[in-house]
Amino acid sequence: MSKPEILQVGPYPEWDEGPLNEAFTTHRYFEASDKVEFLKQHGPAIKGIATRGELGANCAMIEACPNLEIISVYGVGYDAVDLAAAKEKNVRVTNTPDVLTKDVADLGVAMMMVQSRGMIGAESWVRSGNWEKQGLYPLMNRVHGKKAGILGLGRIGFEVGKRLAGFDMDIAYSDVDAKPYASEWTYIKDAVALAERSDFLFVTLAASAATRHIVNKQVIEALGPQGMVINISRAANIDEDALLDALEAKKLGSAALDVFEGEPALNPRFLKLDNVLLQPHHASGTFETRKAMGKLVRDNLIAHFNGDDLLTPVL
């Protein structure tokens, strides 16, 4: 029996390519020089799309595949998938939650520590010989015991909170409603109020039209000149122009960012700042997690084409 034909939107690590090509006939969209023509040629045969969180599947891609049955996302964020178009065409959608939750939370907390304690500058201080020539590295800022705010207490936000509790931090969170599993932490619905009482503000919201720019000028200035924002969600959750304005004017103390508008290209204003930690969207980027993500992408596709229940359905 012929293998289902899959549109592969972006590259996967080599350990995924083999098993994916064993199970499916793949069409490598990201290698096509003329992507419109590529979809015209292969779209009618495509039964599944294997994509990545940041690449998704837009309406044009979905409509170019009239026999599409499922979109499998390598990532927990499915905001780049046109869910309305998928729903209209009765296309299933899956993602890869849980397998990446703890690594993403680990990196978010690490970013807070690295930025607050100035570890990037300290590394340069040693390597440049400044330690010998100029003496002690400048003092930095304590983390333990400070006030943390978590904007979005889903799986990743909750794991961030668990880690911050280990630093004896005073934890509050904002979400659509209070979470019974977080009764030890303070629930503050309003994002500005959460920022006002926080030293560190973690943005861990699933991105959607409803959350776009939820971290706006008011939230940023409420966090203030001693505050730090840490973003391990999607750039769209923060008004990046307002963030840059505040960082440049020192109205916000600092930022630690793993996601950017237009990534991997980013606004060059970031590169001139000394109060921002820049990371290349790698919060889930460990061998263990990426292998689990890749397997889950395949297992969802295989389950669908075998007529079995999907492992991690979104739609």
Q: What residues make contact with ligand 8YV under the rule CB under 6 A? A: 52-54, 74-77, 100, 283-284
Whichever of 76 and 252 has its CB closer to ligand 8YV, that residue is 76
Minimum gap (Å) between residue 73 Cβ and ligand 8YV? 7
DSSP designation for 159: H
Amino acid of residue 6: I
Minimum gap (Å) between residue 237 Cβ and ligand 8YV? 12
Q: Residue 225 — φ and ψ, nearest 5°? A: -70, -10
Cite the active site residues: 234, 263, 281
Whichever of 16 and 54 has its CB closer to ligand 8YV, that residue is 54
User: Tokens 């039964």 appear where?
Assistant: 47
Q: Show the beta-strand stretches assigned E in the chain.
A: 5-8, 25-28, 46-52, 70-74, 92-94, 147-151, 170-174, 186-187, 200-203, 228-231, 254-257, 276-278
Task: Report the C-alpha gap between 293 and 138 in whole angstroms.
Answer: 41
Whichever of 62 and 283 has its CB closer to ligand 8YV, that residue is 283
Helix (H) or strand (E) holding 104: helix 101-116
Quote the tokens at residue 96.
């890869």
Name every residue whose Cβ is closer than 8 Å to that of residue 3 and which is 6 or more positions away in sequence. Answer: 23, 24, 25
Minimum gap (Å) between residue 257 Cβ and ligand 8YV? 13
Q: How many Å separate Cα 65 from the centre of its chain?
A: 27
Task: Report the C-alpha gap between 27 and 7 in whole angstroms.
Answer: 5
Whichever of 53 and 118 has its CB closer to ligand 8YV, that residue is 53
* In the complex, residue closest to ligand 8YV by CB: 53
Whichever of 192 and 278 has its CB closer to ligand 8YV, that residue is 278
Whichever of 94 and 284 has its CB closer to ligand 8YV, that residue is 284
End-to-end CA distance of the chain: 28
Name every residue whose Cβ is closer than 8 Å to that of residue 128 and which is 6 or more positions away in sequence. Answer: none
